[in-house]
Amino acid sequence: MAQLLSPLPGTFYRRPAPDKPSYKEDGDSVNEGEVVGLIEVMKSFNEVKADSSGKITFVAENEEPVMAGQVLAEIG
């Protein structure tokens, strides 16, 4: 299993907006380079992209504060 790590400290969002569906759900297939979430830092939103292909299982919850290097999801 590959671990998808947070590139920045901030708040992790699994949806593009509160009224939109999640980018991906646990067990969904993802392709390398596909957006799976956002990290918000001081009102700036940074895309988090899968760095490998496979099935995703999230470790971080939606709207959870995260640190740089923290595991957001596992892809395998």
**Which CATH number is correct for 2-75, 2.120.10.30, 3.30.70.20, 2.40.50.100, 3.40.1180.10?**
2.40.50.100
Mean pLDDT for the chain?
A: 97
- State pLDDT tens for residues 50-73: 999 999 999 999 999 999 999 999
> For residue 30, which of 9, 53, 49, 8 has the smallest C-alpha distance?
53
22 contact partners, CB below 8 Å, separation of at least 6? 14, 15, 62
- State pLDDT tens for residues 14-44: 999 999 999 999 999 999 999 999 999 999 9
- pTM exceeding the 0.85 threshold for the entire prediction: yes
Structure tokens at 30: 């993802």
Cα–Cα dist 20/59, whole Å: 20
